Chain A
Amino acid sequence: QSALTQPASVSGSPGQSITISCTGTSSDVGGYNYVSWYQQHPGKAPKLMIYDVSNRPSGVSDRFSGSKSGNTASLTISGLQAEDEAEYYCNSYTSGTTWVFGGGTKLTVL
């Protein structure tokens, strides 16, 4: 199974909105609504931000939202804050009853 494709880096200014894409195939992202997004700060464990494409766990800011179109899922962060600067990973279920992660996107808040 190949890793999902994410941009290596994105950036935005405080208050702006950014979107991170996660592209797979019809055997993973496109075939199931089992896409999640994780935020990881340096030296810390990943934190779940979005699950099942667009659901937010309790306690996660509503500035974070998820969507999917075809084989591409997206994470949008609105009203960027300095604390949002981190690495973001997407994760999808696959037809092989396994899971695959994206390569990660480093978000820089300018």
Chain B
Amino acid sequence: QLQLQESGPGLVKPSETLSLTCTVSGDSISSSSHYWGWIRQPPGKGLDWIGNIYYDGSTHYNPSLKSRVTISVDTSKNHFSLKLTAVTAADTAVYYCARRRPGSSCRDSWGQGMLVTVSS
């Protein structure tokens, strides 16, 4: 059974870098032709697509975050990561990782989500 689990610091200081990891079990990132992505949700607000990475390493990012975001994959650990630089309070959100089927809008597996608070 496929499971995704976010992990990382729950508190980040303003201007620093937010780093999260999504560990995948029940599927192999390197052999699975899926997209692996990040979505966030500020408290009390809607969902915001951050970006995704394909198993071959190609990436796509939300234009509004593109200058600050990097998504990478570590196939040896079967996980993918998110880095968001120069964070502000506006980056406080629940961060979700998810898997999407290629050539489809089928984003069928999600992590439980992780709250990251930006505060000094």
Contact = CB atoms under 8 A, between A and B. Distances in A.
Interface of A: 1, 3, 34-36, 38, 45-48, 51-52, 55, 57, 89, 91-93, 96-104
Interface of B: 39, 46-49, 51-52, 60-64, 96, 104-108, 110-113
Main secondary structure of the interface of B (DSSP, over half): loop
Given A36-B106, A98-B51, A101-B49, 10 more contacts: A1-B64, A34-B104, A36-B107, A38-B107, A52-B104, A57-B108, A98-B60, A98-B62, A99-B49, A104-B47
The A interface is mostly helix, strand or loop, or mixed, namely strand
A94 B17 CA distance: 28
Given A101-B49, A102-B46, A48 B63 contact: no
Given A48-B106, A51-B105, A91 B49 contact: yes
Contacts, number: 64
Contacts of A48: 106-108
Contacts of B106: 36, 48, 51-52, 55, 57
What 7 A-B pairs have minimum CB-CB distances, sorted nearest first?
A36-B105, A51-B106, A34-B105, A104-B46, A99-B49, A45-B110, A101-B47
